[in-house]
Structure 1
Amino acid sequence: MPLQEAWPILIACGVLLLCQGTLLFLDARKRGGKAWFWGLWGLIQFPMPTITYALLLWWKKRKRK
């Protein structure tokens, strides 16, 4: 695939990772837990950080009851 055809895909991936990292950072900061870790991990890969974060939130909520 020539580089000219790859630009839209690379830009879309970058926007997706930036949004994921930002949302994870803001939510973790609001809840008071390792915001920088979640934000940086969210910038590196997709979708494992979001899935892990959601599972941990579910597990903590379930544990409280």
Structure 2
Amino acid sequence: MPAWAFAAIALVLLTQSTFLFLDARKRGSFPWLWGLWGLIQFPIPLLVYWIVVRTSLFRKKQG
């Protein structure tokens, strides 16, 4: 595998992890868990995060 492919994979994982960490920290939902999980695989953590945190399917009722 060429070196540029490893660099591309590392860039994708780092970008995903950073996005998950920052967004989870903003929403208060376990940022370190999402950030670390985002570093080890792609795209499952992003999809699960989108379903669990970003959609209203699992949100707590406010009010």
TM-score by length of 2: 0.85
Which has more radius of gyration? 1
Opposite residue 38 of structure 1, the aligned amino acid is W
| Structure 1: gaps (5+ residues) | none
TM-score (norm: length of structure 1)? 0.83
Percent identity, aligned pairs only, is: 49
CA distance in structure 2 between the aligned counterparts of 1:51 and 1:33, rounded to whole angstroms: 15
Flag as ranges the 4+ runs of structure 1 deviating above 2 A: none
Distance apart, 1:60 and its partner CA: 2.5
Q: Give the number of the structure whose residues are more often helix, by fraction.
A: 1
Aligned positions, number: 60
Q: CA RMSD in A?
A: 1.7
Which runs of 5 or more residues in structure 2 are unaligned? none
